[in-house]
Structure 1
């Protein structure tokens, strides 16, 4: 379990459409809830183009209560669109969705928040079907709900009992990281699919439910149920569920042969004590962790939490947070004293790559190797590079020169994935593709044995360049002429 996080404010997001009869009572009930100790609250109400007095009532409530903030949609756009607007406006670090009709009981907030406050979850669904008293309503509506939940669970490999529930709680960071698209009630299957695909830690708790009849103002219809079928499939297979970097790392999991090839290409220089920086979701770490003593680092806590859960029992493994833009974070490398520091497809994401290499030179022991793989050739720079957050693709000799400036000796340079140049150029440079597709990586993985052979035959550059630097045993200051030093070292290594 990760350390218990500290939260300060709960944002309660209310999408309201033609709720003049219930909005005031709903907000009174929300304000009456006793929140867990230390939590402030804000209530963010978005009026979704109501045709009754909902907006007038919302404005009066905001005038009466400082913790109520209200916003107006330009027209009726749907529940999903209203919630997206509320997410943009919220300021809390915890979030709960609340319907304006009081079908759901705000007294359940502490129960909803408990798994998150205890550090066990990032997302909590409230279930209307697990162990609480509930109002008896429509059979066919309930049957449809359970069918949609079953289908969503099958496709997303989850076991929720109530996918369509309104009550969902999140850490604000996890919710903001999910790109939501649905305008209407498709927001429910969309969230269920995307929290699963982001591998967020999910809990479900029982809640009370006092459902409305259609005479009392219930708005969801059979048409929304049919639409939900489409959304369940759409969002299960959509690549727009997270940032481009996470989507790409997930896609790379579909090509284990390719990941093994990348690891084996650098393995001869790694040694027994290996520190991997920018590990992401651990596609390379699954091989690196089998060395003698291993330190895995990343700046993203969600990745580190996932890896700690996966490899918690491995005794030779340390996992720690290291932000490569923060000088102080490198000190753990001094304590670990690695034989090698390896980071693959990481340095291009950092604007000041020279600072990274200097910090490594200052904190690793003498004799330590720095093993780096980066994308090569700015002529291949594409929209996909931008989406991934690449500041650059490296030119000939560029990384070698920067290593030498930092005081590192360059031992070896070679190109990796030569066939990939053509695939990248067609799909991304010409085609404008902004994400790798899992099926593309599966095919590429199947063909990897052929590509490995061709890498040793083709007299061309590759999609990536690999450079191995080394901190010499006796160093005093960086060399005064980096270019000549690089040329001499490369000449020596090729003899």
Structure 2
């Protein structure tokens, strides 16, 4: 099988899932063969401490469509997905978790939605979940906040089962805990046709969940970071320069008002006190200094962005024509 002939790449990030891997790989292979898909499975071992890598190595010997990547330590799901995105060769990329809670039977319909309905990205929606209430309630709050901030109206941002056009995953970069916001990042990079499909959520068969409540805290901070970078990442002067200029002029106006008031009182023989005895003078001084620093930060940011763009030219180009 040549690389160009691969229709579907299935990326499976995992951590300590040795029990589920044989069943998952067999299930994926069966679905692919029944539908006549050419495919590859990419298992990304995120520094597992169990026998996951040994299982992946054995499976890859038994099935040439299986490839494995092993991290030297646990870097997180985002790093695993980014590695899979870079290595994937298929025209359509499917991501799913390794715990068998995502059903490979969903793959044909996800593939159809990408190839026939021309979606850039299709996100799964686990409408009926088998998770405890301590997980479902924070998830609902998290999804509502993400919809409000991002303007991407999906019910389940954190669903691991998603499908992408190849061009999407090759033109985005994720880090930190940003795997939850791939639809947001994709939209802000110009891939705006985003769909949603209700998918089956199966009870966990082996092991236990690897995620705690702290992921929602880190995830929300990452959302704020993404929103900030998207809005001001290429024009930092618009934020820092505006704030700096506003604070500088506000401080200057207060300082001159205090000085003018003193001169007025002296001229009219009214009681007065030194400008430096007024607390407002020190607030004005702080505003002038902070404003100057913010403006300088925006200026330096603009220089950095200009250098970065001139070296990398990292703008997404959808089509080319001519030589």
How does the TM-score come out when normalised to structure 2? Answer: 0.68
Aligned partner of 1:61 in structure 2 is 59
Which whole-Å deviations, capped at 9, do the CAs of 1:370-427 have from their partners, x for residues lacking one?
Answer: xxxxxxxxxxxxxxxxxxxxxxxxxxxxxxxxxxxxxxxxxxxxxxxxxxxxx9xx94
Aligned partner of 1:13 in structure 2 is 11
* SS of equivalent to 1:69: strand
Q: Does the aligned pair in 1 maintain the 2:152–2:184 contact within 8 Å? A: no
Distance 2:84 2:157 in 1: 21
Equivalences for 1:200-349 in 2 at 5 Å?
200=191, 201-212=193-204, 216-239=207-230
Q: Does the aligned pair in 1 maintain the 2:10–2:41 contact within 8 Å? A: yes
Q: Does the aligned pair in 2 maintain the 1:149–1:162 contact within 8 Å? A: yes
Structure 1 residues 207 and 430, CA, compared in 2 at 3 Å: closer, same or farther? closer
Structure 1 residues 177 and 212, CA, compared in 2 at 3 Å: closer, same or farther? same
Distance 2:74 2:194 in 1: 32
Deviation at 1:74, TM superposition (A): 1.6
More helix as a share of residues: 2
* SS of equivalent to 1:433: helix
Aligned partner of 1:144 in structure 2 is 138
Aligned partner of 1:339 in structure 2 is none
Within the candidate set 187, 196, 201, 1:196 is matched to 187
Aligned partner of 2:69 in structure 1 is 71
Aligned partner of 1:413 in structure 2 is none
RMSD of aligned residue pairs (Cα, Å): 2.9
Q: Does the aligned pair in 1 maintain the 2:143–2:157 contact within 8 Å? A: yes
Distance 1:432 1:170 in 2: 32
Aligned partner of 1:154 in structure 2 is 148
Distance 1:136 1:52 in 2: 25
* SS of equivalent to 2:221: helix
Which whole-Å deviations, capped at 9, do the CAs of 1:230-285 have from their partners, x for residues lacking one?
Answer: 112111221499xx9xx68xx9xxxxxxxxxxxxxxxxxxxxxxxxxxxxxxxxxx
Q: Does the aligned pair in 2 maintain the 1:7–1:94 contact within 8 Å? A: no
Distance 1:235 1:429 in 2: 17
Q: Does the aligned pair in 2 maintain the 1:189–1:231 contact within 8 Å? A: no
Distance 2:34 2:194 in 1: 20
Distance 1:435 1:239 in 2: 18
Distance 1:149 1:231 in 2: 14
- Matched positions, count: 244
